[in-house]
């Protein structure tokens, strides 16, 4: 794709105009972009494990792991390496190519990084791509994680800048941008997206995608999460987003960030198969695989396999290239196919 077509100067009006397109026209445009840069029948499969659950001091209105909310989630210590490794082996056997590890911290302390690095090295040794989401990073943390073999770091911006203060009060929007800058500077790939269905307007959904597309580099992976309301959180009774509006969000993300992998992330358990199929057509090229997404439900593995068969989709696989630190993701297709998913272009 010509570099000039990778834009970082989208206006709110332009993004809003995409959202306002007739539904079929929007999907047609998004699918054309998807086909141009990705195999439309290949899906990158990730598994997410909470390696440190609960007890988070933040006040994110959507999060059941915040210690201040009565959600029944008990704080736990960081998992042992061997326990994480067993879960990673099971994820690989089930077809995952990337293993993502989340810890409910505001950010890791210096003493936590060597422990996480040990876990990353062990998972990387299985031949899986590795991703971590640990919160705000301190000086040198991103470099230490990269040296341990981390491929991706997830840090979402969550929502539009002007709506952010309605959802989170314990960290600033700029804090998130600073961590993303540290991740890029360390040479890690970025996984960055947001959550929709938190009571934001369509204009604010456009603002979220505008902010993502106008980052200095488009995220390699863009997870689009639909809010999973959890009783006990401030958003526990949030009104459900229209599923077609969610599909529109996937489609606009695909158009704005052509080389990124758009991930159909949290909220899939609440979607029927037809809505998921529309999301794949609109440009979603990745899912989380397995029964749990951190601590909320996710469609089970067998259901996902059946859905892939019904839609003639197949999972991508990791292909290690000699002499490179990071693996590229290639589609699981007959030898000699040589088609890449585009991850190396830009979580």
Given a contact cutoff of 8 angstroms between Cβ atoms, the answer to whether 249 and 209 are in contact is yes
178-184 — which CB contacts under 8 Å span 24+ positions? 178/136, 179/107, 179/136, 179/137, 179/155, 180/155, 180/215, 181/216, 182/137, 182/141, 182/142, 183/137, 183/142, 183/153, 183/155, 184/216, 184/217
Q: Tokens for 340?
A: 């890449």
Q: Catalytic one among 29, 100, 176, 205?
A: 100
| 279 labelled catalytic | no
pLDDT recorded at residue 45: 86
The whole model's pTM is what? 0.85
Q: Catalytic one among 29, 98, 131, 248?
A: 131
Mean pLDDT of all residues in 25-48: 94
Q: Catalytic one among 29, 63, 248, 341?
A: 63
Mean pLDDT of all residues in 131-140: 93
| 343 labelled catalytic | no
Tell me the pLDDT tens digit for each residue of 173-197. 999 999 999 999 999 999 999 999 9
pLDDT recorded at residue 253: 98
Mean pLDDT of all residues in 31-49: 93
The percent of residues in the chain predicted with pLDDT above 70, rounded, is 87
The annotation status of 341 as a binding-site residue, yes or no, is no
Residue-averaged pLDDT of the chain:
86
Mean pLDDT of all residues in 112-119: 95
Mean pLDDT of all residues in 197-213: 97
Mean pLDDT of all residues in 26-34: 98
pLDDT recorded at residue 74: 84
Q: Catalytic one among 29, 98, 176, 191?
A: 191
6-14 — which CB contacts under 8 Å span 24+ positions? 6/218, 6/258, 6/259, 7/213, 7/256, 8/213, 8/214, 8/215, 8/216, 8/218, 9/214, 10/210, 10/213, 10/214, 10/256, 11/210, 12/203, 12/206, 12/207, 12/210
Q: Catalytic one among 29, 56, 192, 205?
A: 56
Task: Round to whole Å and give the CA distance between 175 and 173.
Answer: 5
- The sign of the torsion formed by the CA atoms of 140, 143, 148, 150 equals positive
Given a contact cutoff of 8 angstroms between Cβ atoms, the answer to whether 171 and 135 are in contact is no
Is the pLDDT assigned to residue 63 strictly greater than 70?
yes
pLDDT recorded at residue 319: 53
Where are the domains positioned within the chain?
Answer: 25-315
Is the pLDDT assigned to residue 36 strictly greater than 90?
yes
In which band, very low, low, confident or very high, does the pLDDT at 299 lie, cut at 50, 70 and 90?
low
Range 25-315 classified under CATH 3.40.50.2000: no
Given a contact cutoff of 8 angstroms between Cβ atoms, the answer to whether 214 and 179 are in contact is no
The annotation status of 263 as a binding-site residue, yes or no, is yes
Mean pLDDT of all residues in 276-286: 96
Task: Round to whole Å and give the CA distance between 308 and 87.
Answer: 23
Using DSSP, state whether 247 is helix, strand or coil.
Answer: helix
* Backbone phi, psi, residue 246, to 5°: -65, -45
Q: Catalytic one among 60, 192, 279, 343?
A: 60
Task: Round to whole Å and give the CA distance between 208 and 195.
Answer: 9
In which band, very low, low, confident or very high, does the pLDDT at 55 lie, cut at 50, 70 and 90?
confident
Q: Where are the strands (E) in 123-228, listed by range?
A: 129-133, 152-154, 189-191, 194-196, 221-226
Q: Catalytic one among 29, 98, 176, 263?
A: 263
In which band, very low, low, confident or very high, does the pLDDT at 302 lie, cut at 50, 70 and 90?
confident
The annotation status of 337 as a binding-site residue, yes or no, is no
Q: What is the DSSP letter of 334?
A: S
pLDDT recorded at residue 335: 24
The better pLDDT of the pair 41, 298 is held by 41
In which band, very low, low, confident or very high, does the pLDDT at 73 lie, cut at 50, 70 and 90?
confident
The annotation status of 131 as a binding-site residue, yes or no, is yes
The annotation status of 143 as a binding-site residue, yes or no, is no
In which band, very low, low, confident or very high, does the pLDDT at 331 lie, cut at 50, 70 and 90?
very low
In which band, very low, low, confident or very high, does the pLDDT at 318 lie, cut at 50, 70 and 90?
low
Given a contact cutoff of 8 angstroms between Cβ atoms, the answer to whether 149 and 121 are in contact is yes
| 68 labelled catalytic | no
């Amino acid at each position: 794709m010509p570099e000039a077509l990778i834009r970082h100067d989208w206006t709110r009006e332009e993004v809003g105009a995409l959202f306002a397109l007739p539904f079929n026209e929007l999907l047609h445009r998004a699918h054309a972009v998807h086909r141009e840069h990705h195999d439309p029948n290949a899906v990158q499969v990730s598994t997410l494990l909470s390696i440190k659950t609960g007890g988070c001091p933040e006040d994110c209105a959507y999060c059941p792991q915040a210690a201040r909310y009565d959600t029944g989630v008990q704080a736990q210590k960081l998992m042992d390496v061997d326990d994480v490794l067993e879960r990673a082996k099971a994820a690989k056997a089930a077809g995952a190519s990337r293993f993502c590890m989340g810890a409910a911290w505001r950010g890791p302390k210096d003493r936590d990084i060597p422990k996480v690095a040990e876990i990353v090295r062990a998972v990387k040794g299985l031949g899986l791509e590795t991703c971590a989401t640990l919160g705000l990073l301190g000086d040198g943390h991103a470099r230490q994680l990269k040296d341990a073999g981390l491929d991706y770091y997830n840090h979402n911006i969550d929502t539009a800048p002007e709506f952010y203060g309605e959802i989170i009060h314990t960290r600033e929007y700029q804090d998130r941008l600073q961590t993303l800058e540290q991740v890029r500077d360390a040479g890690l790939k970025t996984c960055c997206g947001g959550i929709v269905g938190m009571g934001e307007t369509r204009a604010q959904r456009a603002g979220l995608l505008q902010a993502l597309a106008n980052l200095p580099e488009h995220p390699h992976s863009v997870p689009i999460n639909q809010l999973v309301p959890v009783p006990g959180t401030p958003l526990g009774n949030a009104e459900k987003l229209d599923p077609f509006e969610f599909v529109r969000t996937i489609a606009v993300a695909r158009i704005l960030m052509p080389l990124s992998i758009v991930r159909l992330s949290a909220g899939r358990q609440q979607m029927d198969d037809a809505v998921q199929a529309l999301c794949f057509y609109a440009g979603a090229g990745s899912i989380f695989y397995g029964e749990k997404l951190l601590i909320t439900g996710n469609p089970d593995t067998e259901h996902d396999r059946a859905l892939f068969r019904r839609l003639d989709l197949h999972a991508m696989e990791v292909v290690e290239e000699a002499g490179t630190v990071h693996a590229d993701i290639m589609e699981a297709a007959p030898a000699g196919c040589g088609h890449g998913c585009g991850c190396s272009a830009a979580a």
